[in-house]
Amino acid sequence: MSIVALTDTVIITYSAALDNGELIEETDKPVPVTIGSGTVCLAVEACLVGMSPGQTRVIRVQPEDAYGLHKPELVQELLLSAFYGKPDPQPGMIITLNVSREGEVIKVPAEVVAVQNGIVTVDYNHPLAGKVIVYTVKLVSIAA
């Protein structure tokens, strides 16, 4: 029986969940992945090496190897008046804000964390930053 090696293309199914079991993502059909391509989380690719078709593995991916650590400096407070003429920001909303980066204005998504006393607190971190992700990966086949 063959096992997965570097640069192989494999067919997998997988699910990703938080530590508490909350499902984040699940494949509805098998997907191809080339080991070393970076198309899925590198930790997931690494767990596939050495697997045989039909085998399933569960791996816990730490934040620094998934969506990164939560960076407090990416949480900012803005004046509510900056949203004049736009829908009122509410906690949980994902909004797009203009940010200047290296002299260029770009649009960046942010989550509204709180609205209080004329101040809107927004978080530019990825929603999964700082969280452990648990992947359940099944190797369906190794592509020929």
CATH topology of domain 72-123: Thrombin, subunit H (2.40.10)
Instruction: Give the Cβ contact number of residue 66 at 10 Å.
Output: 22
- pLDDT grade, residue 124 (50/70/90)? very high
pLDDT at 1 over 80: no
Q: What is the pLDDT of residues 69-91, one digit of tens each?
A: 999 999 999 999 988 888 899 99
Q: What is the pLDDT of residue 65?
A: 92
Please answer whether residues 33 and 40 qualify as being in contact, where contact means their C-beta atoms are separated by less than 8 angstroms.
Answer: yes
Which pTM value belongs to this model? 0.81
Predicted confidence (pLDDT) at residue 97 exceeds the cutoff of 70: yes
Q: What is the DSSP string of 43-109?
A: HHHHHHTT--TT-EEEEEEPGGGTT----GGGEEEEEGGGGTTSPPP-TT-EEEEEEEETTEEEEEE
Beta bridge partners of 120: 78, 115
Q: Does domain 9-67+129-142 have CATH number 3.10.50.40?
A: yes
Domain segments of the chain as ranges: 9-67+129-142, 72-123
Q: 52 pLDDT exceeds 80?
A: yes
